[in-house]
Amino acid sequence: MLGIRNFVQSFSSSSASRTMTKLKTPPAPTLPTAIKSRDEAKLEEGTETAVFANGCFWGTEHFFKTYYGHLPQFSCVSGYTGGDVAKPSYRQVCSGTTGHAESVKLTYQKGSVGYGELVEFHLRTHDPTTVDRQGPDRGSQYRSAIFYTTPEQKEIAEKVIAEAQEKYVKGKIVTELAPLKDWYNAEDYHQDYLFENPNGESRSAFHSRSLSKPSCVIL
């Protein structure tokens, strides 16, 4: 099993205002399935959706927009999914009683990035071995999860998780893998939160997920 540093060294963090933030080159995938998905990616008509949860969505959104905002037809929206209450509010989700996870929904042109690469990136940017917690943020709404939209996404995610477990992670990966059902956009003030409020990470686990000083198990 390789050390954590092997999975970290190509990353650095940024929390500048979005108007001053330069897009960063994402780290090259290191896991076989992620590498294969990158190498086989070819642009197609239409868009694809990928949904991830890994703690406070402020930081999750910030990472994906900073490293993948260059993709054609790209968007990244913070929101709620995985629960059983219709149109939940942030206050309701924070109560931990709705079953929702703070998540981000990525949309991008088909074939502009390999889905396996996104799954590996997702695993890099948090600790997937902690149950219902990331840094100081605790509760089921902060769980690690991947919400797949196709059987192919499920299969790829399963393979990448297994490869990360074998190659990098000592503890058991507890990332939930579930089909995407209802999705609800978060309130407007949550969108682009850390770009508009670069000091906002004091209210979240963003610093503990900083790519320059990661607490992440495999980052």
Catalytic site positions: 56
State how beta strands 183-185 and 75-81 pair.
antiparallel
Is residue 55 within 8 A of residue 140, CB to CB? The reply is no
Is residue 137 within 8 A of residue 123, CB to CB? The reply is no
Q: Report CA-CA distances (Å) from 16 to 24, 37, 59, 75, 190.
A: 12, 31, 12, 19, 16
Q: Find tokens 């499920």 and name the residue.
A: 154
